[in-house]
Amino acid sequence: MADKLKETMPSNDVNGTPKPSSPNADTAEQITMLWEYSPAPESSEHISISDKYHHFIGGEWVHPEKGRYMTTINPATENKLAEFAEGTSEDVKRAVKVARKAYEKSWSNLSGKERGKYIFRLARMIQEKARELAIIESMDGGKPIRESRDVDVPLAAAHFFYYAGWADKLGYAFPGRKADPLGVCGQIIPWNFPLLMLAWKIAPALATGNTVVLKPAETTPLTALKFAEICMDAGLPDGVVNIVTGAGQTGAAIVNHPDVDKIAFTGSTEIGKIIQKSIAGTGKKFTLELGGKGPLIIFEDAPIDQAVEGIINAIFFNQGHVCCAGSRLLVQEGISEKLIKKLKDRMETLIIGDPLDKNTDIGAINSRSQYERIMKYLETGKNEGAEMYQTSGSLPENGYFCRPTLFTGVSQSNRIVQEEIFGPVLTIQTFRTPDEAIEKANNTPYGLASGIWTDKGSKIFKTGQKIRSGVMWANTYNKFDPTAPFGGYKESGLGREGGLHGLYPYVNLTPV
């Protein structure tokens, strides 16, 4: 099946060495010799995944009303990992009822100090189970173990620690105002950072005294279900956190439930718009963290090798499955040739393969449908007249893998420049003046994240002020911290998560 999908890819011999017809064969062969690593797979023997998961409602596992289950696979092998419950609106009703009861009877009556202790305990238990969570995240979603181990899981724990600290200090967060919880929060998350997005949602909600019904994405439900086990082990009062699994309809049932007070959604702009329409006029609070098409602006005075590393991190990190990925490179004309050459050389050294191997730089595309979507965009790019470059290293036989890809010869109106591909695909344009860079950077419907590389601090501030994006990194990219707010402009969303700002969407403020 995967073979058929990969017809468009350059081919390799059985050892994974590119065949001579491969466009970059010479360089690739030299590099293969230079970068031959022994496999270093992380063992998955000690992790425990059940064959079948039910919903986690009211502190216990609850069978789905209709008795239907879905399957989650490992996208790197296409093997089944587990079954999980398919939630109906009846299941959602049950979860919301339990969450309301927990809100009224226990959680909202606890002091901030007591809530903080529970959240702190959740953070510690994520740390204790870090290895297992990282391996399951990589197996279920396809991301390299280096990322789930060094980024996703530590940051998830850090978010719980951070918001545990706010729970008894809300009076300082909002001086002169009283912060009351909202009630029951419906939270819907995507597949690209499953545990981390769960942490971004659940930690501030609990810190402010709300209870939660959360739905993970259908391709990556496992770490949310492991988190349910952590909630049980932590002795969190029943019903404070409820996990209902399923597909889009399950999410829609949460959005449309009349007794949900707030919706926190991270996902595509398309679904974000549907959600905003459905809750218009209901009085529900909401935050939407949506898509992006981040520009990377490289000025002529930039430290070029540092910029190349930044670009690699911005777009090939996590297979480009990052909402804030830098997917549009804008490079000043004088250095474009040199930079592209260095970028291609660096790309050739990236190791694509088993997500559980500690050497792997680029893991599997999250699902077959996402793989097909990326392949369609590669065709679109070629049909739009752009020139495509792909690295020539080996790809595994099974699973969904995509080579890092560059498109040159693109224009601003091309679909591959305007639309979010959500894969390891970078378009390259040049500019002459800072104004031209700003104009091009702002010319998409999105405004989530951006990056600038230059030697001059003044240029960072002068250009940065004019870029419409929620986050801007300078001479680096994809750096996260729980204390920093994150969110978008334009079609990239509404509201902020993280930091002090991340408390606002979960409270009603009144003057004291």
Cβ-closest residue to ligand NAP? 251
Does 491 engage in binding with ligand NAP (CB under 6 A)?
no
Does 422 engage in binding with ligand NAP (CB under 6 A)?
yes
* Footprint (CB under 6 A) of ligand NAP, residues 431-450: 448
Residue with tokens 């104009």: 439
Does 500 engage in binding with ligand NAP (CB under 6 A)?
no
Does 255 engage in binding with ligand NAP (CB under 6 A)?
yes
Does 493 engage in binding with ligand NAP (CB under 6 A)?
yes
The DSSP output letter for 459 is H
- Residue 290 touches which of Mg ion, ligand NAP, none (CB < 5 to 8 A by kind)? ligand NAP
SS (H, E, C) 273-339: HHHHHHHCCCCCEEEEECCCCEEEEECCCCCHHHHHHHHHHHHHHHHHCCCCCEEEEEEEHHHHHHH
Contact assessment for residue 74 and residue 141, using Cβ atoms and an 8 Å cutoff: no
- Residue 140 touches which of ligand NAP, Mg ion, none (CB < 5 to 8 A by kind)? Mg ion
- H or E element at residue 343: helix 333-348
Residue 408 burial class via C-beta count within 10 angstroms: exposed 0-12, middle 13-18, buried 19 and up? middle
Residue 72 or 242 with smaller CB distance to Mg ion: 72
Tokens of 379: 């065709």
For the sheet with 326-332, list strands across it. 387-390, 405-408, 425-431, 326-332, 294-298, 449-453, 471-474
Alpha carbon distance 203, 381 (integer Å): 40
CB of 214 to Mg ion, least distance (A): 17
Does 260 engage in binding with ligand NAP (CB under 6 A)?
no
Alpha carbon distance 434, 245 (integer Å): 47
Contact assessment for residue 86 and residue 66, using Cβ atoms and an 8 Å cutoff: yes
Residue 219 or 223 with smaller CB distance to Mg ion: 219
Does 155 engage in binding with ligand NAP (CB under 6 A)?
no
CB of 140 to Mg ion, least distance (A): 4
- Residue 72 touches which of Mg ion, ligand NAP, none (CB < 5 to 8 A by kind)? Mg ion
Does 86 engage in binding with ligand NAP (CB under 6 A)?
no
- H or E element at residue 195: helix 194-207
Q: Which of 96, 153, 164, 188 binds ligand NAP (CB under 6 A)?
A: 188
CB of 245 to ligand NAP, least distance (A): 8
Enumerate the active-site residues: 289, 323
Binding site for ligand NAP (CB under 6 A): 188-192, 215, 217-218, 247-248, 251-252, 255, 266-268, 271, 274-275, 289-292, 323, 420, 422, 448, 488, 493
